[in-house]
Each structure stands twice: as C-alpha cells, then as structure tokens.
Amino acid sequence: MHHRTGQVFPRWPAATVAAALLLACHLGDQRDARACPQTGEFGNYGCAVVEGAVVGARGQPLGGVAVAPGPSADGGQFDTPFHYTDASGRFELRLTRYVPAPSDSASVWIHANVLPTPPEVVSTIHDSALVRLLIAPIGHLPDTAHVSIVLQVP
C-alpha cells in the first residue's frame, strides 16, 4: 500500500509562479526612454529639453533654420547639439549637462540661424533667446522649456 506523508505541489504552479516573478523583475527594470540617461565614460549631471518654433517677420514658420544652444549664462556646460527646424518651423533640443553646477537650473541662449547660400559664407539672419532650464537628474523625466524666435525674414 502506498502512503503519502506530505503534500507535494504539482510542478506547473511552481513553474507559473517562477515565470511571473521573472516577468515582474523584468518589467520593473524598464525605464522611460525620455528619462535623462547616464552617458559615456565620464557620465553627466542631468538634462533638459527645449522645444519651440522659429518664425519670420510676418509670423510665417521657417523650415530648415539651424537651431543650437550657446554657452550657459551661469557657467553650467552642456553639450551643443544642433538641429534644423521642420517645415512648420518647430524644433526640439535635448541638452545634457556635463559639468557639475551649484544649481538645478540654468540659463542658456538658444540661437537660430538662417544658413547662408553661396556666395555668402556667414549667416546674416540670426537671433537668440535666453531660456531658463530646470535640470532633471539622471533617471528622471526632463522639464521642457518653450521658446519662440522671430527672424527678420520677410
């Protein structure tokens, strides 16, 4: 005669629980792609996003205008990505701070330049706006500053 001395759990519920735990660990590790990433060998100190539009003198959107950040007015150093405005004059810059600063905010000049066409070699139509940024720490969603720049294009 065969006697059981204890309850043995069937294998399928244990496998199901193990799979659920592994899945939960994987899902808990996913990060929002918009969060400030840690970058490169030396790292960084957070990021911010600037979005806006470049328009002409009559308010018309200006596509193909080069937009880039300038030096921070308060000494914080950022990368200097530049982008072109789209057909509706819109742009977005993601700025990463590479040098520690005493504050979690910064003032940065955003420059817009109509690229010269030959035979010109220097942009003669340009302007900038000073933007105050709140710097998000690594792993957090960055704040978005908004700016509009008017260029004297008829």
- Rg of the chain (C-alpha set): 26
pTM: 0.72
CATH 2.60.40 correct for 47-150:
yes
Contact 142, 92 (CB under 8 A): no
Query: Per-residue confidence at 21, pLDDT binned at 50, 70, 90?
Result: very low
Is the pLDDT higher at 3 or at 124? Answer: 124
Q: Which two tokens stand for residue 97?
A: 């701070």
Residue 98 structure tokens: 């590479």
> 61 falls in which pLDDT band (50, 70, 90)?
very high
At residue 29, the pLDDT reads: 43
CA dihedral 57, 58, 59, 64 (to 10 degrees): -60
Instruction: Kindly state the greatest CA–CA separation across the chain.
Output: 102
Between these two residues, 4 and 106, which has the higher pLDDT value?
106
Cα distances from 83 to residues 50, 51, 95, 134, in angstroms, run 12, 11, 12, 21
- State residue 62's pLDDT score: 96
CB 34 within 8 A of CB 128: no
pLDDT in tens, 66-109: 999 987 776 667 887 889 999 999 999 999 888 887 788 889 99
Alpha carbon distance 123, 127 (integer Å): 10
pLDDT of 94: 92
pLDDT of residue 5: 53
Place of tokens 């629980």: 17
Tokens 């004059």 locate to: 89
Confidence grade of residue 33 (pLDDT, cut at 50, 70, 90): confident
